[in-house]
Amino acid sequence: MRWLWLAAALALAPVQAQWQFGEPLWPAGEARSGIYHQLDGAARQHLAADRDHVALTWGDNRDGSYQVRVAYRHLSGDGGFGDVHTLSEGEEAYHPVVVALGDGRFLFAWEQDERVWMRVAGPEGAHPAIQADAAESTQPSLAAHPEHGVVAAWSRRENGALRVVSAPVAVDDAGVMQVGEAVPVDPEPAQRDQIYPTAAVTPSGVAVAWEDRREGHTRLHYVFRTHNGRFGPMQDLNDRRQGPRTQPYGAGSGVTRVALAAQGERIAAVWLDKRDYQSGYDVFAALSEDGGQSFGANEMVQDVFGAEIPQWHPGVAISPDGLPLAVWDDPRDDTPDVWMSWRETDEWSDDVEVAPAYGPGAHTRPAAVFGPDGRLHIAWTTRTEDGLSRLGYVVAQWR
């Protein structure tokens, strides 16, 4: 197997040289026994960046119960993250997500005691948290556009099943937030769960995608609406092609955890897809070039060196220039590590390990976002070799 490792290293060397990684930071502090960190929000939206700050949100049990935390980093100079703040206020909280509002303000959403909550906060302080849905609800996601505002989506329980709803969110200059009417993205009442929604806002309108189990197996669907219109008909995101999974192994190929990111009229979607059932989940992607009204062909993201082992926890980001980039973790080199690939000239690059999230220990659950300056921010969880948990963060820059 040494020749295969050498071939992979030689193939990756010129590709990896195009990215320069900074020194890793540990936003939640050093690992401590009994504390566990979670990066499991819908669409993996745990990072947001504006011109001067980056916000990282996660869940941990440092106070005895799982709560939503945040830490901020000022992007001027080489300073680290500031103090850890707690955003949630209930018995337990999970699935945090964040988007940047500009001027050092961020909007957060999470699930707290079986309800979706939201809060505007930043390095200068936090506004009161508000409950976004009175009904049982979970798995919120957020999307923001500098001209068209913020849109939220989450799963609400109705008649025993989870149903995806979406609502506009208005935040005024004083930080006062108002959540608009939450409407189902699909008018057909849910008979089976619709889960893990993700949203994107473009100049043309709003796209929402989610996992749907109405057919007895999981499909990925999406809908689109103009900014002043209603959601149109539901469309398929993942292929319905027949393959080795669909014939002798069940009704569908198995898909999960779709994530969207937008820049201009381009939206990138990534997800896990088990159409090659023998190797487990692969990372697949599709692009929209018309603001979310339609998506192109499904494309496998990871390269041949990752094709024979399962991938996990995909996230997506788009640069200010429209470059789609995917992150995930897989154990191709015997331990779970974080990898990334980006799409140029109509194809995805060879995979590149995220250097600070590679090597001894288990590096998993990555999240990524590009800042306005084009730098890439990546966060992940690490389980050290002695079993302790901590959060990692690094900035990557194209050379």
Q: What domain range includes position 226?
A: 36-239+248-323
Evaluate whether residue 140 is within a structural domain: yes
Evaluate whether residue 328 is within a structural domain: no
Q: What is the dihedral of CA 18, 19, 20, 26, to 10 degrees?
A: -170
Evaluate whether residue 205 is within a structural domain: yes
Confidence (pLDDT) at 241: 60
Evaluate whether residue 399 is within a structural domain: no
Evaluate whether residue 383 is within a structural domain: no
Report the C-alpha gap between 34 and 182 in whole angstroms: 38
- Residue 325, beta-bridge partner list: 317, 342
Evaluate whether residue 66 is within a structural domain: yes
What DSSP string describes 168-190? EEEE-TT--EEE---EESSSSPP
Q: What is the dihedral of CA 95, 100, 105, 106, to 10 degrees?
A: -10
Tokens of 348: 């995805």
Query: Which residue bears the tokens 């999240």?
Result: 367
Each residue's pLDDT expressed in tens, for the chain with a length of 399 residues: 334 444 444 444 445 558 999 999 999 998 889 999 999 999 999 999 999 999 999 999 999 999 999 999 999 877 899 999 999 999 999 999 999 999 899 999 999 999 999 999 999 999 999 999 999 999 999 999 999 999 999 999 999 999 999 999 999 999 899 999 999 999 999 999 999 999 999 999 999 999 999 888 889 999 999 999 999 999 999 987 644 444 444 555 689 999 999 999 999 999 999 987 777 899 999 999 999 999 999 999 999 988 889 999 999 999 999 999 999 999 999 999 999 999 988 899 999 999 999 999 999 999 999 999 999 999 999 999 999 999 999 999 987
CB 342 within 8 A of CB 328: no
Evaluate whether residue 65 is within a structural domain: yes
Domain at 286, CATH number = 2.120.10.70
- Number of domains observed in the structure of the chain: 1
pTM for the full model?
0.93
Evaluate whether residue 398 is within a structural domain: no
